[in-house]
A = this chain, B = another copy of it.
Amino acid sequence: MILFNQQQTDKRSQPAPHQLSHPHNHFLRLIPLGGIGNVTKNMYVYEYRRSSGGEISDILIVDCGIGFPDEAMYGIDLVIPDITYLRDKKDKIRAIILTHGHEDHIAALPYILPDLKVPVYGTRLTAALAEVKLRDFGLQNHINTADTSQILHFGPFSVEFVHVTHSIPDATNLIIRTPVGIFYHGSDYKFDWTPIDGQQTEVGKIARVSSEGILCLLSDCVRVESPGYTLPERIIEDTLEEELRKCRGKFIFTTQSSNISRIQQAINVAVRNNRKIAFLGRSIVENVDVTKKLHYLEFPDIFVVQERELKRYKPSDLFLIVTGSQAQPNAALSRIADGSHKFVSINPGDTVIFSADPIPGYENAVHGLIDELTARGAKVAYSDIMDALHVSGHGAANDLALMIGLTRPKFILPIGGTIRQMRRYADMAKEMGYKDNQILLPGEGDVLEFDSMGNVRKGENIDLKNVMVDGLGVGDVGNVVIRDRQTMANEGIVVVVVPVEQSTGQVTAEPDIISRGFVYMKESTRLIDGAKKVVTNSLRLKKGRIFDWQFVRKQIEGRLEEFLYKETHRRPLIISVVVEV
């Protein structure tokens, strides 16, 4: 992990030791609990102390998002930030501020808010979406609504929202004023000058605060590898219109269900071409519902049909907006493709539009889904073969450079990207004249300590765990369980049951062997018989009463592992069970 650049502090301006303990030297500690070296699971702690090592005075938290499990985290639904560090400091936390309504910024609230019990703030749509998330878990917390003209005060902090363009309306960056200086919290953004909702990024506000002097810019960096500027969202609409005109059957449109601007464009095209719209899939229905109520989505209700009414319409009169752009197994599009959707099936003449790129790791699943739809006769359009079906909500290299140019911060800290993207962002900043010691590349849990003399230094590293959510369990699946799942996934399991007479401590019958995911047992009697013999032989060597079953079990497992590897070149998980009777 990159902890820091080689030079961690600005040597030239480093204060003499006596200055460090100067009574007027305040400290702001910035602690990423997520979103560093990692695109998702955003959560940042701003912690103010009146002196280094002194007592914490106030804490402000930005975002509270979920992360996606990596492929090796078998069976895990999602990952949330580890808030162990905050547990004994709850009374210092003044607020959680949400930058926008995407899952990787708000969706850990239902897991964390009941524990932290602090007020939460966001712009209108963001607050509404966060409340929907909480309601899904039966939580009734109120999220406070703020708008971009307000300045919120939390103890020594003040927070001003800056409207930015992204792939969801009401997205913001934050101007956070602290006793040591101004932080520009530049979470997800791009500079789209023709946004679908007409609301441009408030560059004037950014420029104004920049003239006061920004101590540190935290900036989105996930698309730094793409040159130029990210294309405007608006180009999608023409492509859609063109495809729709060529379509004689149903028109099926999928995108990420939080991409409200994209859904608005799809609706615009449907309405202009007089097609009835159906929304299929829980998250689309939920998001459309809440955004429509708040007027972030606009369309005449008369165009909407319910899924059970679809059969009344000709295919060429329909425009379906469906979940499943990442080929999620139970999403509407996956069920349509495999023929299990109750109301919709694919026929030749239908067109399916993927208006989203596969998330890394989902490429194969998405390509498999495209194949399935193609095989059923649909024309499938996706961005590998057609331009302008998807643009990112994140800024490309030039957008990111423009933000640096606008904010002109003393220090720069890339967030929301992988290590290689952070590093590349650093290279770009250097090309813009920044020095190594102005570019901060912490790892997750690394504390950055800013002082009021304008210095920054690396504090301690807070040990962060992956808090994994699996079904109803939060954090109960740890590394041991995951390791067992990995072994069983690749090699299966073998269970050996040894019956033992309690009074004599002697083995009373032949051991039993059961396996799952290892070999097809019915066709492997020779192997299983061989394995039984290995176990029996290990036990035969024991004379008299066995006291140390722990030791004997280890021995059985060891011998069996050796035998099975020799025979199959597989290493299943082996458990031996001694049953005393």
Contact = CB atoms under 8 A, between A and B. Distances in A.
Interface string A465-502: 00000111100111011101110111111010101010
Interface stretch (A8-16, A206-214, A274-282, A419-427): A419-427
A91 interface: no
Contacts of A486: 489
Contacts of A509: 579-581
Nearest to A6: B348
Contact of A520 (B418, B480, B491): B480
Contacts of A296: none
Contact of A485 (B480, B488, B569): B488
Contact of A476 (B361, B491, B519): B519
A514 interface: yes
A359 B338 CA distance: 25
A55 interface: no
Interface string A40-65: 00000000000000000000000000
Contact of A363 (B225, B360, B423, B501): B360
Interface in A489-538: 489-493, 495, 497, 499, 501, 508-509, 512, 514, 516-520, 523-524
Contacts of A363: 360-361, 363
Contact of A423 (B360, B374, B481, B514): B374
B524 A489 contact: no
A37 B371 contact: yes
A71 interface: yes
Interface string A370-394: 1100110000100011000000000
A489 B492 contact: no
Interface in A538-581: 567-570, 573, 575, 577, 579-581
Contact of A516 (B371, B484, B490): B484
A74 interface: yes
A476 B471 CA distance: 33
A435 interface: no
A484 B517 contact: yes
B495 A485 contact: no
Given A509-B580, A581-B499, A420 B371 contact: yes
A225 B579 contact: no
Contact of A488 (B418, B488, B512): B488
Interface string A329-363: 00000000000000000000000000000001101
A7 interface: no
B385 A490 contact: no
B493 A493 contact: yes
A516 B573 contact: yes
How many copies altogether? 2
A575 B515 CA distance: 10
Nearest to A564: B471
Interface of A: 1-2, 37, 70-71, 74-75, 225, 360-361, 363-365, 367-368, 370-371, 374-375, 380, 384-385, 418-420, 423-424, 470-473, 476-478, 480-482, 484-486, 488-493, 495, 497, 499, 501, 508-509, 512, 514, 516-520, 523-524, 567-570, 573, 575, 577, 579-581
Contact of A473 (B424, B470, B480, B568): B568
B367 A471 contact: no
A371 B418 contact: yes
A481 B517 contact: yes
Given A360-B363, A485-B488, 6 more contacts: A361-B364, A374-B419, A471-B569, A480-B520, A484-B517, A512-B579
Contacts of A380: 420
A581 B520 CA distance: 27
Contacts of A480: 520
Contacts of A514: 495, 575, 577
Contacts of A476: 519-520, 523-524
A471 to B, nearest CB: 3
- From A1, A225, A361, A485, name the one whose CB has the most chain B CB atoms within 10 angstroms: A485
Nearest to A509: B581
The 7 residue pairs across chains A and B that have the minimum distance between CB atoms: A471-B569, A489-B489, A75-B490, A485-B517, A488-B488, A484-B517, A581-B581
A563 to B, nearest CB: 13
Contacts of A575: 495, 514, 516
A480 B495 CA distance: 17
A497 B511 CA distance: 13
B512 A577 contact: yes
A75 B489 contact: yes
Contact of A490 (B374, B485, B523): B485
Contact of A472 (B472, B499, B567): B567
Given A367-B360, A374-B423, A518-B481, A488 B495 contact: no
A418 B367 contact: yes
A402 to B, nearest CB: 20
Contacts of A71: 71, 364-365
- From A493, A501, A570, name the one whose CB has the most chain B CB atoms within 10 angstroms: A493
